[in-house]
Chain A
C-alpha cells in the first residue's frame, strides 16, 4: 500500500445475493499462472459462457455497468477460500469499494491491504440503496468519502442527491488507508520486540523449536 486513498466515485453494480464466495469472485481457472489478467477473470464463472463469450445479461457485461467502481452486495461477501486474488480481481477490474451488511473475515482483511474500501452497512441502508439501483437500470454514480464514512449520489440533478448513507470501518484502519500506511513497515518498528519475544519463547519452550527444525543444514 503506497498511495493514500480518500474517496471512490463511480457507478455502483448490484449483486443481490448473500454468501458470494471468492471462488465466484475469481474462479480457480484464472489462478494457474502468476500473470493472469485477473480483472478479466472477475466473476468469470457467471460472466462468460463455455466458449469464453460474454453473457449479455450479467451485470458487469451491460453497457451501463462495464465501468463500475462500486459494488453493493448482500450478507457475508467474500466467504470461502482465502485467495487474495479475489481482492486483486476486483481492484484490477476497477472496483474501489464494496458495501455490504457483512463480510467474511479473510476477505475483509485482504481488502484493507489492497486499498479496497469495505464498508459495512445497516440492512436498511442495503435495502435503500438496492431499491435505488433497481429503479435505475441505466446505472447510478455514487461518491464514497473515507473522511466522513458516507456514501451519496454523485449526480446533483438526481432528486435523491441530498441523501447520504453512512457505513462503518474501524477508525484506525480508515486512517491507515487515508495515509497509505505500509503495514509491514509499521510492524518492523517492533522488530526488536519480536526478536526478544522469539528469544524468550525459545528459552522458555525449547520443545517448540527443536534442533531438527532450527539451524540445521538441508
Chain B
C-alpha cells in the first residue's frame, strides 16, 4: 500500500479483479463466480425482467436450494409447503436464464458455503459473491467471498460485476499453540469476543500465523465463515499446499496442465513481507479454552467455565442497555456460571460447522453414549455429499444410536425460515453463527459453540464445563 510494489494478499486479488475505478471513488470489480440461494434472489429476477435485462454470463452463476428446504429425509419441494414458492421461483428463474441449479433432488445439493468449496467453484485468488452474509466462508481457500444484498445480486446477474468501496485491510495473527481438542470455532468466537461485532467493519480481514497454517482446510472454512460476525464482509487465508491438495479433482477445479499452472499461481498468493495493514492484531492462542456464547450477539462469548457478565460494570450506556436486554432475553443472571445451564435442543449443522470433520469430531464424543432424555438433538450435514461420506464412515449409525436425528442437507435450525425451529422459550446449543433474539424461532434462546461442546452438551443435557471435554477428544481414525 504505502511502499511501491509491496502488496497485501488482499491488494493482489482485488487488483486482479479491477475492471476500472469509478468516478464516485468506488471500484468496479469482476465477479468470477456467483452463487444464488432461494431466499434472496427472487426480487432480483423480477427487477431484471421489469428492466428488460438478461443474465449476462449465466455460466458463471450457480444456484442451490438451502435456506428454506425441508431437511426431512426423503423430502421433496412439497415437504415444506411454506417454502415451495421461493424454491420454485429460483428453479424456474435459473432454468429460464440457463443457470445451473442444485435443487434438493440433486446429489450435490447443500448449503451454498459448503458446496462452493466442495465442487471446486471457489478457487484461490478468485472472487465469489452470494446473496448471503456468510459468503466469506470460501476465504478459507484464499478466495475472496463477499456477501451481497439482493440489489447487488441483480447487479451481478446483469453485469457480472460489483461496484464496491475498497475495504481497508486488517491482519489477525494467531500465535502460540491451540490446545488439543479446541477448534477453529473456538478461535473465531474468541476473536469476536475480543474485537467485537463491529471490530472488522470496513475491513477485509486476513487470518494468518502459525496456528492458521496448522489448521485443516475445513477448519479454515469455519474460521472465515464468521468474518461477518466481526463486521467484515471479507475474511480469508493465504492458500498453501493443503489448499491445493483439497482442490485437486473437484468437479469444477481446473484439470491437468491448467491445475499445474493454477497451483503455481496459488502458491504465489500471499502478503508481501513488508506489506502494511491498516490494522493488525495478535492473538496468543495458548490461553484459549472452549468457548460458548451467553447473550444475543456473537461477541457475548466467554470460556465454557466462565460466567455471565455484570452490566453494571459496562461504561457505555448503549452497550449497557444492550447487555441488560441480552441477560433478560436469555433468562440468565449476572455472575451466573454457564456450565450446568439446562438445554432443550442441541443442533449440529449450518454453514459454520456441518462438514465431515465437524461430524467426525462430534461422533467421536457421542459414540456409545446417549443424548439426555429431555433434549432434542439433530445433526444436519452441510451437503448431500457430506451426508454420503459420513454414512460411508458409519457416523449416521453412531449418531442415531446416541439419540440424534440424522437429516438431509440444508440451513435447517440456524435460520428458522424452514420447518426446523426451536420452540418459544426453549434453550438451544448450536454449532451455528448467530445467537440473535428470535434467530432460531420466536423467543428461542441460542448458545453458539463448537461441535465438540454441542455434542457433549447434548449428552449432559446442559452446558458443559471443560472437565467434561477433557477425555476422548481425539478424532475418529
Contacts and interface: CB of A to CB of B under 8 A. Distances in A.
Contact of A76 (B25, B59, B198, B253): B198
Interface in A194-212: 194, 197-198, 201, 205-210, 212
Contact of A109 (B149, B201, B258, B417): B149
Which of B23, B297, B424: most chain A Cβ within 10 A?
A: B297
A185 to B, nearest CB: 8
Given A28-B415, A105-B233, A194-B161, A207 B258 contact: yes
B398 to A, nearest CB: 31
Contact of B322 (A19, A33, A114): A19
B116 interface: no
A21 B325 CA distance: 14
A215 B59 contact: yes
Given A75-B318, A187-B161, A218-B100, A29 B442 contact: yes
A193 B19 contact: yes
A84 B151 contact: yes
Given A33-B85, A208-B32, A213-B59, A193 B148 contact: no
A84 B42 CA distance: 12
B182 interface: no
Nearest to B160: A194
A17 interface: yes
Interface bracket on B? 35 or more
B254 A106 contact: no
Nearest to B153: A84
A214 to B, nearest CB: 5
A83 B442 CA distance: 18
B405 to A, nearest CB: 21
Interface in A11-28: 16-19, 21, 23-24, 27-28
Interface stretch (A61-69, A91-99, A168-176): A168-176
A188 B160 CA distance: 10
A16 B60 CA distance: 43
Nearest to B131: A82
B78 interface: no
Contacts of A173: 24
B252 to A, nearest CB: 5
Interface in B38-81: 39-40, 42-43, 51, 53, 56-57, 59-60, 68
B254 A210 contact: yes
A163 interface: no
B438 A213 contact: no
Given A80-B228, A82-B133, A187-B159, A176 B24 contact: yes
A79 interface: yes
B83 interface: yes
Given A32-B82, A84-B43, A209-B60, 10 more contacts: A19-B297, A27-B438, A50-B443, A80-B434, A106-B133, A183-B163, A207-B259, A210-B253, A212-B251, A213-B59
Interface of B: 19-20, 23-25, 28, 30, 32, 39-40, 42-43, 51, 53, 56-57, 59-60, 68, 82-83, 85-86, 89, 100, 121, 123, 126, 131-133, 147-152, 154-155, 158-161, 163, 167, 197-198, 201-202, 228, 231-233, 251-255, 258-259, 261-262, 265, 297, 318-319, 321-322, 325, 415-417, 424, 434, 436-439, 442-443
21 contacts: A17-B318, A19-B198, A32-B417, A33-B82, A33-B86, A34-B85, A74-B318, A80-B133, A82-B147, A102-B198, A105-B232, A110-B151, A113-B151, A183-B163, A184-B155, A184-B159, A187-B161, A194-B19, A208-B32, A213-B60, A214-B60
Q: Top 9 nearest A-B pairs by Cβ distance?
A: A172-B24, A207-B254, A113-B151, A84-B149, A110-B149, A207-B262, A207-B258, A82-B133, A74-B318
